[in-house]
Structure 1
Amino acid sequence: MDSQPEDKVSNEKSTAVAAESDQHRRDHGAETELQRHLSTRHVTMIALGSSIGMGLWLGSGKSLASGGPVGFSSHSIGELAILYPLPSAFVQWTHKFVSPSAAFALGWAYWFNYVLTVANELQVTGVILRFWTDKLSNAACITIFWAVVIAANVFGVKVFGEIEVIGSSIKFGWIIVVIFSLIVTSAGGAPGHGPIGFRYWKSDPFTHGFKGFLSVMPTCIFAMAGSENCGLVAAETINPRKSVPRAVGSIWLRLTLFYVLGAVMVTINVDPHNKDLFGQSGTNASPFVIAYREAGLSALAHMMNAIILISVVSTGTIYVYSGSRNILGLAHMNMAPKQFRLADNSGRPWPALVLSVILGGGFAYLNVTNSSADVFSWLSNMTSLFTLFGWGMICLAHIRFRHAWHAQGRPDSALPWKSWTYPYGAWWGLVWCMVLIVVEFYLAVWPLGLPPSAKSFFSSYVSVIVILVLYLGAALYYRGPWWIKLTDIDLDANRRFYVDGEVEKEPKQGLRGMADKVLGVVFN
């Protein structure tokens, strides 16, 4: 009789130990100092809105003035991010599947790219605000919105995720309003002018000819940068196997809805020779604002400018986040000081965050005075080629991963998620990145509207020189092989393992529940 309570206690202990062991086996691996707090809703909206900033709303104006592979790299990201959700994502994948020297060059170049993008987004706030007032100096505008970007990142990843969901939802909803309203204005349904039709397409379809068309490429690359951020957030995602495929699916929507249809509406409604287009002499920088203003829809013009401001700040916030995680990943590979590995109990990597936010804001002030504006212009020119390098290495890492997976006798059925575009998508993305780098070399040697010169070449192509110096320097330092042997790659190191049971539990009521249902219908 006395043994029964003891047996009961023993059984309860065994059950508790088994449950604890099962929980340890449930979705574990690839652990860092970061915390998994982001849900599917967060990751999808971050992927959807991460590059809807200056590149889309303002950069399209420069594209019009100049010249009248991202989906496939995103699929490569999806497959790798689910299996290896690491802080700096594609930098650590490059280290694992390509070579340490390539990872070193990519990691530091891309971190600098993030910092420069933060500076780009902050410095344009003054241009946006001049639509309403010229009483605020550029320095004041940068300071105000720099503080906003800092605040969005210091309260932890949960707050960051919610802010980005709100910002991306606003941007996503507004682009739909833009498309339908500009269809109406082009048909003559606005008080400011009659029907436009395809007048600008017929009169001047390729401003500055084929070279003008090619010169748009850097702006387009800058506008599309940010698609790779869905790989970075995977390290702080509750269930990447559920979240990342949905985020990858959103890339196609952004390509078609935001950029293709948005660009078509702009080219129909705005004269490419309009003096106010960004990059020329006017202050009403956005072609979308110009379209509404000339259509006599002042209320929509003001709303459009407000959306642009929200977009710019939101994108700057994402890039501070991305920069801090990138340098944390470099520290994990012993390619940055070990202090950058540190994070607090909430998963905030303070040393990496402080460095990224200080330099991002600091570079923005270079554009305040004319004497330093040239320096800032040189730095800004580096971003598009850094982005191409990043996209290319993502595709190459995916190709090398699959080759290693097969070389070690593992079937594709063992992958938690497979990209339907492999191998053609990865190769297509890699080849196009190389082609676009050659195109930018052509534009650097023979720039549009300027005679060839060493100054114009280095200002446009200096990023390639930086990448080569970083790569060769790292190759000499690490003295390793140019390629990691496929059989030497440890496919289980830093890998996350999954079980069949669902890990993520989202509230299914209220606004969050509605958001999940909408996202599920659109992307599943």
Structure 2
Amino acid sequence: MDAGKEKFRDSSSADSTGHGNTHIEFYDPSKESIWTRLGLNFESFKRAPGVTGDRLVAGDLSEAQIEQIKRDTPMLQAKMKKRHLTMIAVGGSIGTGLFVGSGAALKTGGPAGILIGWIIIGVMLINAIGEMSILYPVSGGFYTLAHRFLDPGFAFAMGWNYFLQWAVVLPLEITVAGTTVNYWTDKVPIAVWITVFWVVIMIVCLFGTLGYAEEEFWSSCLKLLIVVMFVFIGIVCICGGGPTGGQYDHYIGGTYWQNPGAFSNGFQGVCSVFVTAAFSFSGTELVGLAASETPDPRSTVPGAVKGTFWRITIIYITSLTIIGLLIPWTDERLLGGTSAAASPFVIALDNGKIPGLNHLVNVTICISVLSIGLSCVYAGSRTLTALAETGYAPSFFTYIDKSSRPLYSVIAVLVFAPIGYVNVVAAGDTVFLWLQAISGLSTLVTWGSICLCHIRFRRAWKVQGHSTEELPFKALGGAWGSWLGLTLVVLVMIAQFYVALFPVGGVANGGERAQSFFEAYLAAPIVLAFWIGGYLWKRTTPWRAHEIDLDTGRKSWLTVEEMRRYREERKASPLYIRVYRMLFTN
């Protein structure tokens, strides 16, 4: 066999209809050089044979055989390890929303308002995505699942909405990274920093999935360390243990909850916090996308999903509680909300006269926004590729190179980065308000779609004669948990509609009211327009439960009896192991 043929592996299969064995050749990336797999030579940019439309190399195959091949040969290589997926879930979405956006939310909603907003949004993050991703670790994640379980037209709207969400967030994050540097110096024009961070992101993208995963692992470790450190320092300061001469050299307790108060704008202020909270949680659903690039989703995804719960309780709620106790919502430095100087983390450390740590937090903020920028490229490119595979985007976006990069899809997301340069002109602020309006509600639409997918999946699972005991991982609360999440999404959308019509502080005239409404609610009509467009294009209707495909891409085929034996064996484990599994794994 020549060198070219050695890069393929043979396999044979037979279907239940009696077709004879047919030999199929699969592309084996492990036969490539280390430089090709890492994406560091020209060979790596060539199209990987056999991973898209030309996947089937030879043979007259039955439908059953083709589906078996699709299950066994995922489009993207499984490069992520368990530690990568765990840290993506635990720290991947910690960024601008928590470190910077929480300051503006504190100003608008007050200390009690931000806790209510973040807790309600956090409840939506149930582990329905984990249940489906473990059973179906398919390329495109929840977009592909929506295409299968709901309606291709609705999936088209959700997929393009999700792509736009990340494509628009990329220039926003790059600009915030640039303004973060202004905390130390304003001598260098913001355009220079935007260019620097854009180039850094492109360099990391050269390493594909592995580059993203490694960057997320180490940046998440740093972010978690800083947040935990801040919580301990904050507790000491609240109790009066701060340095002499600072604002926290005496006991303050809940002083700022009493004066100026727990709420800054009442019910209206609480409603205005929801979108900021949702933005801070965006990226949590990346576990569903990453499942297809993980060797063993069954063992890695449950721990990553359960890590979401610990992030909500320990990282977000605890740190926001500390912030609300340390900083009054009347602090004028919270007004900006767009730079590191407006970060409540930095403000609290400055107030306490704690030297050095404010700079460390600022470095972390800079790294965090770069991390989210890379998440933009990862999530946007994978979704665009999945859209192309299902015929809802140009076919050239299905191009996957030998380093497992969806090359054209990655480029498509990266070209949005130069929008950040509008920040250097007078109209930049206006442009950025509209970009934020596009991405504002997108996260809520995505989570609502995931909940709806899970509800329809569970219904089809039951109608087609399956038992929930067959599932390798069951979402907390089952379908009822997804109904709760979907209900909360609808309620938050209604609350945001109210705030869009009647914004905090009011408006002077009808023209300003219209602008205020679309700045807060623009994502909703965009999704609706995509949905209508998808229907007019393909004329699809929602799947009925008995029509839903539950077999293609399915990884677990264990029977009820086999799953019962598996769970009985696990029950025989020592108590401490069972407790650990319950909290952190499956």
On whether the aligned pair clears a TM of 0.5, the verdict is yes
Correspondent of 1:88 among 122, 127, 140: 140
Q: What residue ranges of structure 1 are gaps of 5+ in the alignment?
A: 1-16, 501-518
Higher RCO (C-alpha under 8 Å, 6+ residues apart): 1
CA drift of 1:292 comes to 0.5
Distance 1:522 1:97 in 2: 29
2:173 pairs with 1:121: yes
Distance 1:282 1:356 in 2: 24
CA drift of 1:52 comes to 0.5
Distance 1:356 1:280 in 2: 26
Q: What do residues 452-511 of structure 1 show as CA deviations (whole Å, max 9, x unaligned)?
A: 621211222111111111111111221122x211111121113234689xxxxxxxxxxx
Q: Secondary structure at the match of 1:355?
A: helix
8 A Cα contact 1:363 1:376, kept in partner: no
More displaced 10-residue stretch of structure 1: 378-387 or 342-351: 378-387
8 A Cα contact 1:28 1:497, kept in partner: no
Equivalent runs, 1:350-365 vs 2, <5 Å: 350-359=407-416, 361-365=417-421
More displaced 10-residue stretch of structure 1: 135-144 or 491-500: 491-500
Correspondence for 1:504: none
2:539 pairs with 1:479: yes
8 A Cα contact 2:109 2:270, kept in partner: yes
Correspondence for 1:263: 320
Alpha-carbon distance change, 411 to 520 in structure 1, aligned in 2, over 3 angstroms: closer
CA drift of 1:520 comes to 7.8
CA drift of 1:255 comes to 0.3
Distance 1:477 1:396 in 2: 23
Which amino acid letter does the alignment assign opposite residue 536 of structure 2?
L
2:584 pairs with 1:523: yes
Distance 2:257 2:368 in 1: 28
Distance 1:30 1:89 in 2: 17
2:448 pairs with 1:406: no
Correspondence for 1:14: none
TM-score relative to the length of structure 1: 0.88
Correspondence for 1:462: 522
Alpha-carbon distance change, 124 to 281 in structure 1, aligned in 2, over 3 angstroms: closer
Correspondent of 1:136 among 181, 185, 188: 188
Correspondent of 2:227 among 164, 175, 178: 175
Distance 2:360 2:370 in 1: 16
CA drift of 1:224 comes to 1.1
Moved over 3 A (4+): 24-28, 69-74, 280-283, 497-500, 519-522
Correspondence for 2:284: 227
Distance 1:125 1:173 in 2: 20
More displaced 10-residue stretch of structure 1: 233-242 or 271-280: 271-280
Correspondence for 1:308: 365
CA drift of 1:372 comes to 3.1
Which amino acid letter does the alignment assign opposite residue 258 of structure 1?
I
Correspondent of 1:50 among 80, 89, 92: 92
2:431 pairs with 1:368: no
Distance 2:360 2:125 in 1: 34
Q: Percent identity?
A: 36
Alpha-carbon distance change, 173 to 315 in structure 1, aligned in 2, over 3 angstroms: same
Q: What do residues 189-244 of structure 1 show as CA deviations (whole Å, max 9, x unaligned)?
A: 11212222111111121012221121111111111111101101011001111111
8 A Cα contact 2:496 2:521, kept in partner: yes
8 A Cα contact 1:82 1:241, kept in partner: yes
Correspondence for 1:389: 445
Q: Secondary structure at the match of 2:284?
A: coil
Q: What do residues 334-373 of structure 1 show as CA deviations (whole Å, max 9, x unaligned)?
A: 10111111111121110000111121x1222222322132
TM-score relative to the length of structure 2: 0.79
Count of residues in Structure 1 that have an aligned counterpart in Structure 2? 485
Equivalent runs, 1:146-185 vs 2, <5 Å: 146-185=198-237
Which amino acid letter does the alignment assign opposite residue 466 of structure 2?
R
Alpha-carbon distance change, 61 to 520 in structure 1, aligned in 2, over 3 angstroms: same
Correspondent of 1:491 among 524, 547, 550: 550
Correspondence for 1:273: 330
Alpha-carbon distance change, 520 to 412 in structure 1, aligned in 2, over 3 angstroms: closer
8 A Cα contact 1:391 1:433, kept in partner: yes
Distance 1:169 1:282 in 2: 23
Correspondent of 1:337 among 391, 394, 398: 394
Distance 1:71 1:498 in 2: 31
8 A Cα contact 2:134 2:301, kept in partner: yes
Q: What do residues 153-172 of structure 1 show as CA deviations (whole Å, max 9, x unaligned)?
A: 21122232112111111111
Q: Secondary structure at the match of 2:465?
A: coil
Alpha-carbon distance change, 324 to 280 in structure 1, aligned in 2, over 3 angstroms: closer
Alpha-carbon distance change, 282 to 35 in structure 1, aligned in 2, over 3 angstroms: closer
8 A Cα contact 1:73 1:395, kept in partner: no
Q: What do residues 85-114 of structure 1 show as CA deviations (whole Å, max 9, x unaligned)?
A: 122211111110110111011000110001
Q: What do residues 10-54 of structure 1 show as CA deviations (whole Å, max 9, x unaligned)?
A: xxxxxxx9xx99xx9999816432101111111111111221010
8 A Cα contact 1:278 1:286, kept in partner: no
Which amino acid letter does the alignment assign opposite residue 318 of structure 1?
S
Correspondence for 1:145: 197
More displaced 10-residue stretch of structure 1: 186-195 or 241-250: 186-195
Which amino acid letter does the alignment assign opposite residue 523 of structure 1?
F
Alpha-carbon distance change, 296 to 430 in structure 1, aligned in 2, over 3 angstroms: same
Correspondence for 2:566: none
Which amino acid letter does the alignment assign opposite residue 532 of structure 2?
L
Distance 1:144 1:74 in 2: 37
CA drift of 1:282 comes to 8.1
Which amino acid letter does the alignment assign opposite residue 150 of structure 1?
M
Q: Secondary structure at the match of 1:29?
A: helix
2:345 pairs with 1:288: yes
Alpha-carbon distance change, 66 to 494 in structure 1, aligned in 2, over 3 angstroms: same
8 A Cα contact 1:26 1:497, kept in partner: no
CA drift of 1:404 comes to 0.5
8 A Cα contact 2:97 2:281, kept in partner: yes
Q: Secondary structure at the match of 2:356?
A: helix
